[in-house]
A and B are shown apart, each in its own frame.
Chain A
Amino acid sequence: MDKAIPLENKTEFDESVPRVSSLKRFRRVLLSRKLVVFGLIIIVTSIIAAVFSPLLAPYDPYAFSLKDKFLSPSLSHPLGTDALGRDVLSRLIYGTRTSLIVGIGVVGIASLVGMSLGLVAAYFGGKVYTMIMRFIDTLMTLPMLMLALAIASLLGGGLRNVVVALSIAMIPAYARMMCGQALSVKENDYVRAAEAEGASNIRIMAQHIAPNCFPPLIVMMTMQLGHAILSEAALSFLGIGVAPPAAAWGAMVNDGYKYLHTTPYLSFFPGIAIMLLVFAFNMVGDGLRDALDPRLRGTL
């Protein structure tokens, strides 16, 4: 009988605080800002464009016809054609694939490796910490773009190698963030309790520390999607990246640069596409930060 009363009270307590509220609040804060909604729309549109490129593109992005080169924007070619007579709009649509694959691939690999390194460094401390963090410092000594450039030159071009190069260049940011987070999370009592229970190191790291480090890292991953897309564009602008006939926005800007005097819009449109997509990820990242962190709500 004694036990029944607190149980009843507990149920009452649970009812007075609806459990969905945090999710609702998250959604409300996230969608309350127009720019975040705008960003989400751009992202969803890009994903659709990437997945359904063959259906949406009015022309074959690789088919060149020299008699149609440098056509100005018109009804049949809304964004004109390039130096080889390829339809710019179709190439932009196919370019969405490159950008999104690179963005998602790079953030996926870099966050997985970086977060693991940061977690291990913070958890074990001592020599392990010094070794990992010195390695991270070394990677951070060079400008990200220069590091990616050097690694991409070593591996050779191609989509996969660009993803690997950018991933390595982006590991430090995740490792540092995760390390900082994990250092404070591991001092919590529930980690001590797990240790006392005899849980394995991996179990403590994966089940007790990592999940509690995630919110700021999720924001960072969203922001880094944009950053990775921007960096891929820079690499392909420098001619290191996706192999030539394939469509990449950065390479399109560079192609257009050669004909800037006569057809400036060839460089203009892909640049706008890069900006829109990166802007969208940044805005959603900002929105997520506000939605995940009540203390920071509305500050940026």
Chain B
Amino acid sequence: MKTYILRRLIQSAVVVILVTIGVFLIMRMLPGDPVLLYVGMDDVNAATTPEEIAALRAEFGLDEPLLKQYLDWIKGAVEGDLGYSFLLETDVADEIKNAMPKTLLLGFVAFSISLLIGIPFGIIAAVRRGTWIDSLVTVLANIGITAPIFWVGIMLIHVFGVKLGWLPTQGYTSVFDDSLLGIKKLIMPIICLTVFPLSGIARQTRSAMLEVTKQDYIRTAWSKGLTEFAINMRHAFRNSVIPVITLAGLQIRAIFGGQVLIETVFNIPGMGRLAVEGLQNQDYAIVQGVILLIALLVTLTNLLIDISYGFIDPRIRYS
């Protein structure tokens, strides 16, 4: 077990290093010169001479060899300094510090709701297989995994924001500043982020449960005269939880991906929108920072999930 965790830690570290190299190279290959963009933005600097541009380049370390730039970036990142954004004229670390709590809050709530609703509905559908409730859950889940979430967001805005006027449609307010408004602004984005993972988890729970209920030990449990609840929960569900956790792990990544869209639709200044705007403006310091952090978060959750298998199912041995 210890050697397994150690090996997975090393693997994860290798993957994170590979990601940083990949991201760094992609950002350097992007079309457009950030210094020229920076200069072009400002009217005062409009008549910048080539010498001044070279000076700026040197100031931001862009004239150094790639390897040195990369190592400087990593060294800074370890110390909490992710560089400077030309376009936003702030430190990337500050920008991410502002954006991250919003993204994490949305993602965490959406993920929790997906599990809390998806798993019970999957179980019910499997237990009541072939009844109206099974059909309902299956059809809704099948629609849920096909709906483009940005479109769901726009339709929600149309109905609950524009037509009914119940919910604010744009922006983010901290629940600590104005609890009611803050929560109201979170409702629609969270619904959108929940649709896909909730449906996926319900589907997976249902099919995993149906697999298990065919097993001999379930028949044994019935013939022992156990209650239906005990059979379903203690015997069937506990044995179908592994594929559900595997999928849940993948859904964490999908939620981060969905936030790129949802933060754009609802105008929430989180990591997803930071990444989109950074890419559109060739602001590679920002994009590098955001991607580095998301890669770290995803790698960490994957690691935790892999390790959790052994605790959840003692039959799993790590080799």
Which A10-61 residues have a C-beta within 8 angstroms of B?
35
B256 close to chain A: CB less than 8 A: yes
- B287 contacts A144, CB within 8 Å? no
What is the interface size of chain B, counting residues whose CB is below 8 A from a CB of the partner? 50
A214 close to chain B: CB less than 8 A: no
Query: A131-150 CB contact bits vs B (8 Å, 1 = yes)?
Result: 00011011011111110011
- A145 contacts B151, CB within 8 Å? no
Chain A interface main SS type? helix
A241 close to chain B: CB less than 8 A: no
- B148 contacts A274, CB within 8 Å? yes
If A137-B11, A149-B275, A264-B158 touch, whether A143 touches B261 (CB-CB below 8 Å) is no
- B256 contacts A156, CB within 8 Å? no
Query: A264-280 CB contact bits vs B (8 Å, 1 = yes)?
Result: 10011011001100110
Which B154-176 residues have a C-beta within 8 angstroms of A?
154-155, 157-158, 162
Which chain A positions have C-beta within 8 A of B147?
Answer: 271, 275
**Chain B residue with Cβ nearest A138:** B18
Which B254-280 residues have a C-beta within 8 angstroms of A?
254, 256-258, 260-261, 264-265, 275-276, 279-280
Contacting chain A: which of B88-96, B230-238, B294-302? Answer: B294-302
If A260-B157, A274-B151, A275-B146 touch, whether A141 touches B15 (CB-CB below 8 Å) is yes
Chain B's nearest CB lies how many Å from the CB of A134?
A: 6
Q: Which of A144, A153, A275 touches B148 (beta carbons < 8 Å)?
A: A275
- B15 contacts A134, CB within 8 Å? yes
- A143 contacts B299, CB within 8 Å? no
- B203 contacts A300, CB within 8 Å? yes
Which chain A positions have C-beta within 8 A of B154?
Answer: 253, 256-257, 260, 267, 271
Which chain B positions have C-beta within 8 A of A138?
Answer: 15, 18-19, 22
Q: Which of A144, A153, A275, A282 touches B30 (beta carbons < 8 Å)?
A: A153
- A149 contacts B295, CB within 8 Å? no
Contacting chain A: which of B42-50, B55-63, B204-212? Answer: B204-212
A261 close to chain B: CB less than 8 A: yes
Which chain A positions have C-beta within 8 A of B121?
Answer: none
Docked CA distance A237–B264 (Å)? 10
Chain B's nearest CB lies how many Å from the CB of A7?
A: 41
Docked CA distance A128–B158 (Å)? 52
A154 close to chain B: CB less than 8 A: yes
Chain B interface main SS type? helix
Query: B200-222 CB contact bits vs A (8 Å, 1 = yes)?
Result: 00010011001100000000000
Which chain B positions have C-beta within 8 A of A264?
Answer: 155, 158, 162
- B19 contacts A143, CB within 8 Å? no
- A238 contacts B148, CB within 8 Å? no
- B142 contacts A283, CB within 8 Å? yes
B253 close to chain A: CB less than 8 A: yes
Chain B's nearest CB lies how many Å from the CB of A75?
A: 25
Which chain B positions have C-beta within 8 A of A300?
Answer: 138, 203, 206-207, 210
Docked CA distance A261–B157 (Å)? 10
If A253-B154, A275-B143, A300-B206 touch, whether A146 touches B275 (CB-CB below 8 Å) is yes
**Residue among A239, A256, A267, A300 having the largest count of chain B Cβ atoms under 10 Å:** A300
Q: Which of B146, B254, B295 touches A226 (beta carbons < 8 Å)?
A: B146
For chain A, the bracket of interface size reads 35 or more
B65 close to chain A: CB less than 8 A: no
Docked CA distance A253–B207 (Å)? 33
Which A203-249 residues have a C-beta within 8 angstroms of B?
226, 230, 233-234, 237-240
- B142 contacts A279, CB within 8 Å? yes
If A138-B15, A226-B146, A267-B155 touch, whether A238 touches B276 (CB-CB below 8 Å) is yes
- A260 contacts B158, CB within 8 Å? yes
Which chain B positions have C-beta within 8 A of A261?
Answer: 162
Docked CA distance A137–B257 (Å)? 17
Which chain A positions have C-beta within 8 A of B253?
Answer: 140, 142-144
Docked CA distance A227–B254 (Å)? 12
Which chain B positions have C-beta within 8 A of A141?
Answer: 15-16, 19, 295, 298-299
Chain A's nearest CB lies how many Å from the CB of B257?
A: 3
A250 close to chain B: CB less than 8 A: yes
B86 close to chain A: CB less than 8 A: no
Chain B's nearest CB lies how many Å from the CB of A212?
A: 23
Other than the given A143-B253, A143-B254, A156-B31, 14 more pairs (CB < 8 A) read: A35-B142, A142-B253, A143-B256, A145-B257, A153-B280, A154-B29, A154-B30, A230-B148, A237-B261, A267-B151, A270-B151, A271-B151, A275-B148, A299-B207
Q: Give B contacts to A, CB under 8 Å.
A: 11, 14-16, 18-19, 22-23, 26, 29-31, 138, 142-143, 145-148, 150-151, 154-155, 157-158, 162, 203, 206-207, 210-211, 253-254, 256-258, 260-261, 264-265, 275-276, 279-280, 287, 291, 294-295, 298-299
Interface pairs (28), CB distance under 8 Å: A35-B142, A134-B11, A138-B15, A141-B295, A142-B298, A143-B258, A144-B257, A145-B258, A146-B256, A146-B257, A150-B26, A150-B287, A150-B291, A154-B31, A234-B150, A250-B148, A250-B150, A253-B148, A253-B151, A253-B154, A257-B265, A264-B155, A264-B158, A268-B155, A275-B148, A283-B142, A299-B207, A299-B211
Q: Give A contacts to B, CB under 8 Å.
A: 35, 134-135, 137-138, 140-146, 149-151, 153-154, 156, 226, 230, 233-234, 237-240, 250, 253-254, 256-257, 260-261, 264, 267-268, 270-271, 274-275, 278-279, 282-283, 299-300
Q: Name the 3 nearest CB pairs between A and B, nearest first.
A: A143-B257, A271-B151, A145-B257
